[in-house]
Amino acid sequence: MVIVTLQREKCIGCNYCVEMAPEQFQMSKKDGKSVLLRSTEKKGFFTLKSYDDSIFEDCEKAQKACPVKIISTKKL
């Protein structure tokens, strides 16, 4: 299982996550911040839990590219 977490409030809208993992991230047209697709929100943290291990590599690239370090990627 892959768990990806996004602290959306702190997003600066740089778009790196979308470039690295377009299947999991997109930019909001409303506020220009990143959206973690198919995620659930709890206290400002958006979490995606997926049994598709193939998303891990792209999400990890997005995590490393994020200049404000608001993306977390774990593989269980």
Asked if 40 and 5 touch (Cβ cutoff 8 Å), the reply is no
**Which pLDDT tens digit goes with each residue over 55-70?**
999 999 999 999 999 9
pTM of the model: 0.95
What is the domain class of 2-75 according to CATH?
Answer: alpha beta
What are the domain boundaries of the chain? 2-75
Whole-angstrom distance, CA of residue 13 vs CA of residue 27: 7
Mean pLDDT estimate for the chain: 97
Whole-angstrom distance, CA of residue 33 vs CA of residue 15: 8
Q: Which percentage of the chain shows pLDDT scores above 90?
A: 100
Distance of CA 13 to the CA centre of its chain: 12
Across the range 40-45, mean pLDDT stands at: 96
